[in-house]
Structure 1
Amino acid sequence: MSRLVMKFGGTSVGNADAIRQVGEILQKAYTDGHEVVAVVSAMRGVTDMLINAAKAAAQGDDAAARSASTTIWERHAEAAGVLLGRTTGPDLAAIKQELSMFMHLCEAIAILGEVTPRAMDLISSLGERFSARLVASYLQTLDVPSEAVIASELIVTDECFGSANPLLDETGERTRARLLPLLEQRTLPVVTGFLAATRDGVITTLGRGGSDYTAAILGHALDADEIWIWTDVDGVLTADPRIVPNARTLSRIGYTEAAEMAYFGARVLHPKTVRPAVEKRIPVRILNTFNPTHPGTLIVPDDTVNGRAVKAVTAIRNLALVTVEGRGMLGVPGVAARVFGAAARSDVSVLMISQSSSEQSICFVVPSDASRRVVQALEQEFAHELHIGAIDRVWVQDDVVIVAVVGGGMRRTPGIASRVFGALGEKEINVVSIAQGSSEYNLSLVVEAADANDAVRAIHDAFSLGEPPRQEEPTLVVPE
């Protein structure tokens, strides 16, 4: 039998019906003989309520904390009433106690007039504590011995509050010491996602995709056979089904492909979160809590698993294209460094870069809400060059979208670019900018926002991604 780490997101534990489905999934895996560690997120929306209340308290509004506390308690008590037949007991008392602590923290924040990153980590991580206790208690009613485990007992991080980095060696020691005895006793641990702690026991959080990250960290520490990420979709799709009705679930993709797709807007694991699994080459499954018989998508080390060069088409929206151009840039060293130095000082993430071979223009894509800030920084940086005419202008094109064509087999397959641009040409879609990395895992292009959906559909059709590959992908069977 297998050792599995299963993570359930906020939608999967969002109410009593969802938690009942989670319980059935875990009960089946447990009774089938697997060693299972569950990782749970907060109920959907709870973390946002906690964060917003803390921010409101910093502005002197403590009513938001009282309202959030009441709503959060009612949601958990309602689920407990349905699942457990009670709204009292040690588990519910612990939730009430932590909500009381949350209220006291917000009162202190209101007095100070600010919420520190350290305090925000403590507040924002409370939701996972609530859901872990609720899920563990429900499993016990299903005759599955279970225990809620707070991840601060397991995962050791640095002090980078808000996006802490795990110290894997120390984490491994603590995790094995705490969880292996439970597994040996056939007890199913339900671990809080998202949160961790420093060596001194100060609560930290793991940032974006934190609960996925928790699952990968625990899988790494326990040498899991697989990590299963349960969400509300049937795995990783070839495109957004809201745009492409015939988008299909990919049965397998490679780690690098998954990272590229996540970067370019697909609903898949964030690259950071899967890194511990990659290090030990642990397969990761993406599965649907509400359609548990669907085989989902398996993420594996090999990027060429189905003989198809292109696997998916994704898009990132709400972007702007910033261009620096001028004849005086030709052959002048250091221009690119100054351009991206100015962007970095503006605290702006650059999503794509393209430069003409003549070196007379550099363009790059940034989030729309940051574009004016970047242009202002560039105009300050190149004020002299703009004054003497060495740089003609710095300008921005709003309402653009990056469309990315992703696939591990692209680097060995000639003609990919011609098929992409041929498909766009047939639909009379103008390409504003192009970029392709030397790894050739993706071909990225910029189009106007109005053309984005047509571009995604045209490329998806050009590579017949809605149809099974000629070399049929192997059917995945959930391990027994």
Structure 2
Amino acid sequence: MIVMKFGGSSVESRAQIEKVLHIVRARLARRPVVVSSAHKGMTDALINAAKAAATGRFDPSVPVNKQRAVAESLGCAPDLLAPFYEEIADLLRGISLVKELSPRSLDYIASFGERMAVRCIADFFARSGVPARAYDVWDLGFITDANFGRARPLPGFDARIKAMFAERVPEGIVPIVTGFVGRNEAGEITTVGRNGSDLTATLVAAGLGAEEAQIWSDTDGVMTADPSVVKTARNIPTMRFEEAAELAFFGSRVLHPSTLLPAMEKGIPVRVLNTNRPDHPGTVIDFDTDAASPAVTCIAYRERQVVLKISSTRMFGEVGFLAQVLAVLARHEVVIDVITTSEVSVSMTTDDLGKLSRALPELEQFGACEVLPNRTTLVIVGQGMPRQKGVAAQVLDAMAQAGVNVEMLSYATGSVNLSMVIEDAHVASAVGVLHHSLFEKAR
């Protein structure tokens, strides 16, 4: 059995869904389970309509018309999604009346994209000769906590998923399953976070003990850099989980940050493939690969980060200073990514200026606080970095050539990633020069 996740760009139109049909049909012998995202742009359309409704502007036409156009192009019967269109209108009307959009309501409205997409796709598959049936993932055992916007399955989810699949998915049927969404024990709809359908896929794969989880997108697997920034970026044939996890967290556009954890726990390989070039081998992510590890595997980045710098002579030789600072940040739920220290200052990055701002009054008791927005965490990832001399020197030399100032630098002993903080405005030039230095010069 394989679990195949198709992203929004893979199911955005009839032309793309026909590609998905051919890909799935060619793998029927491997008993595919298909996890689908919403059609490209649908989740944004739903959320924008909900935000507009919260200001009193009731207009369900944009998401409804967008979905109706895809359904009609696939030849779906008009009544297939009629109940969903009515429910969307009712929900948006309610939001417009109370002028309030809670996290619970936001998850509810966002869920319609996947729920409608899987029904259209399953209907199209069935009429095209591939026996398929649509399933909401909660009907297959995916019950979550009540953390709206970032829900996670309850303990024991893998056993529930395995049992419910055996009970509810007939032999020979290709299940088309909603990604991104879930349901808590109270029956309320939740979501696992934006771009979370790939997380759903690996969680389902873990529950079913699948031989492989496949993430189908619009790139040739994981690339050495963001191909929209570096036109010469190339495919990485094999990666270790540790490298891929770093890339996902630090900005790889291919994988959701939490995707790899369920697969790692169950030892299930993850293969990243291109819907538009299904014969391309893509990238295989596993614990062990046959290929020798290069010093550097990939360059990734996270834009729109915030740097907090606290300067204080109290740090010098004081026991527990940093622990106290981190305790304040924890109380305000500020997630810290990169941290560097000296004897009289500490600098750290986060992605939530709002939470950091609320923590500042308490932080100022420790010293002078400086907040620097519009920063990017730029990372160089490679399993072989700890064993090869001169990589850091090569990286910093490339940054100097690009005329980019490195404001923070972090590299732990034996780490697979070297992290730098630069200004957002310098990302394109920094990544381009780095890629040329690390990947193209050696070719």
Same fold by TM-score greater than 0.5: yes
Assess if the C-alpha contact under 8 Å between 2:42 and 2:66 holds in 1. Answer: no
Counterpart CA distance in 1 for 2:196 and 2:441 is 32
Q: Supply the AA of the counterpart residue of 2:233.
A: A
Aligned pairs, how many? 442
Identify which of 391, 415, 418 aligns with 1:416. Answer: 391
Percent identity, please. 36
Deviation at 1:183, TM superposition (A): 6.3
Contact 2:293 2:383 in 1 (8 A): no
CA contact (8 A) 2:196 2:256 kept: no
Query: 2: distance between equivalents of 1:123 and 1:450?
Result: 35
Correspondence for 2:234: 248
Q: Equivalents in 2 of 1:222, 1:377: separation in Å?
A: 43
Change beyond 3 A, Cα 1:318–1:157:
closer
Give the Cα–Cα distance (whole angstroms) in 1 for the partners of residues 360 and 182 of structure 2.
39
Alpha-carbon separation, structure 1, partners of 2:170 and 2:424: 55
Q: Which amino acid aligns with 1:34?
A: R
1:156 corresponds to 2:150: no
Alpha-carbon separation, structure 1, partners of 2:391 and 2:283: 24
Confirm or deny that 1:325 pairs with 2:311: yes
- Give 1:249's aligned amino acid: N
CA distance in 2 between partners of 1:436 and 1:408 (Å): 13
In the other structure, the counterpart of 1:473 is none
Partner letter of residue 365 of structure 1?
Answer: T
Residues in 1 aligned to 2:423 and 2:190: alpha-carbon distance in whole angstroms: 40
Q: CA separation in 2, counterparts of 1:213 and 1:223?
A: 15
Residue of structure 1 aligned with 2:176, choices 190, 213, 217? 190
Matched residue, 2:61: 67
Q: Superposed, which structure 2 residues align to 1:216-235 within 5 Å?
A: 216-235=202-221
Tell me the residue number matched to 2:67.
76
Shift in alpha-carbon separation, 1:449–1:103, aligned structure 2, 3 A: closer
For residues 75 and 452 of structure 1, what CA distance do their matches in structure 2 show? 34
* SS of alignment partner, residue 281 of structure 2: coil
- Against the structure 1 CA distance between its residues 125 and 329, is the aligned structure 2 distance closer, same or farther, given a 3 Å change threshold? same
Tell me which of 345, 361, 371 is aligned to 1:361.
Answer: 345
* CA RMSD of superposed structures (Å): 2.5
Distance 1:466 1:112, change over 3 A: farther
Counterpart CA distance in 2 for 1:433 and 1:116 is 37
> Residue 16 of structure 2 is aligned with which of 5, 15, 18?
18
Query: Which of the residues 278, 285, 297 maps onto 1:299?
Result: 285
Q: Within 1, Cα distance between the matches of 2:169 and 2:99?
A: 46
Tell me what 1:388 maps to: none
Aligned to 2:302: 316
Q: Distance between the aligned counterparts of 1:425 and 1:192, measured in 2?
A: 47
Question: How far, CA to CA, are the matches of 1:103 and 1:398 in structure 2?
Answer: 39
- Give unpaired runs (5+ residues) of structure 2: none
The residue number in structure 2 matching 1:49 is: 45
Q: Deviations over 1:341-365 (max 9, x none)?
A: 4444554433311101xx2111122
Return the offset for 1:272.
1.5
| 1:13–1:44 contact (8 Å) kept in structure 2 | yes
Task: State whether structure 2 residue 353 is matched by structure 1 residue 370.
Answer: yes
| Residue segments in structure 1 that go unaligned for 5+ positions in a row | 386-390, 469-480
User: Is the alpha carbon distance of 1:466 and 1:294 closer, same or farther for their aligned partners in structure 2, counting shifts above 3 Å?
Assistant: farther
Confirm whether residue 260 of structure 1 aligns to residue 246 of structure 2. yes
Provide the residue aligned with 1:478 in structure 2. none
- Relative distance call for 1:16 and 1:338 in structure 2 (3 A) is same
TM-score, normalised relative to structure 1: 0.84
Q: Does 1:114 align with 2:100?
A: yes
Cα distance in 2, alignment partners of residues 189 and 467 from structure 1? 46
Distance 2:186 2:46 in 1: 24
The answer (yes or no) to whether the contact 2:135–2:178 under 8 Å persists in 1 is yes
Distance 2:91 2:424 in 1: 44
Following superposition of structure 1 onto structure 2, how do residues 77-476 of structure 1 map, counting pairs within 5 Å? 77-84=68-75, 86-88=76-78, 93-154=79-140, 155-169=142-156, 171-180=157-166, 185-302=171-288, 305-356=291-342, 359-367=343-351, 370=353, 374=356, 377-378=359-360, 380-383=362-365, 391=367, 393-464=368-439
- Does 121-130 or 238-247 show the bigger shift? 238-247
The CA deviation at 1:269 is 1.7
CA contact (8 A) 1:20 1:83 kept: no
The letter for the 1-side match of 2:265 is E
Tell me, in whole angstroms, the C-alpha distance in 1 between the residues paired with 2:204 and 2:232. Answer: 36
Name the CA distance, whole Å, in 2 between partners of 1:205 and 1:445.
Answer: 32
| Secondary structure, counterpart of 2:317 in structure 1 | coil
Larger Cα-atom Rg: 1
**Cα offset for 1:265?**
1.3
Relative to structure 1, the CA distance from residue 172 to residue 351 in structure 2 (aligned partners, 3 Å threshold; closer, same or farther) is closer
Alpha carbons of structure 1 residues 113 and 286: separation in structure 2 relative to 1, 3 Å: same
Q: Does the aligned pair in 1 maintain the 2:332–2:358 contact within 8 Å?
A: no
* Secondary structure at 2:210 match in 1: coil
Deviation per residue, 1:399-419 (Å, 9 max, x gap): 433221101222233332222
CA distance in 1, matches of 2:424, 2:95: 42
Contact 1:153 1:174 in 2 (8 A): no
- Indicate how the Cα distance of structure 1 residues 417 and 380 shifts in structure 2: closer, same or farther if over 3 A, else same: same
| In 1, Cα distance between equivalents of 2:182 and 2:337 | 29
Offset, 1:439: 4.5
Contact (CA 8 Å) 1:342, 1:374: kept in 2 or not?
Answer: no
If the length of structure 2 is used for normalisation, what is the TM-score?
A: 0.91
Q: CA deviation at 1:255?
A: 1.1
Asked whether the equivalents of residues 236 and 297 of structure 1 are also in contact (C-alpha less than 8 Å), the reply is yes
Are the aligned partners of 1:339 and 1:378 in contact in 2 as well (CA < 8 Å)?
no
Whole-Å separation in 2 of the counterparts to 1:78 and 1:466: 48
* Structure 1 residues 437 and 268, CA gap change in structure 2 (3 angstroms): farther
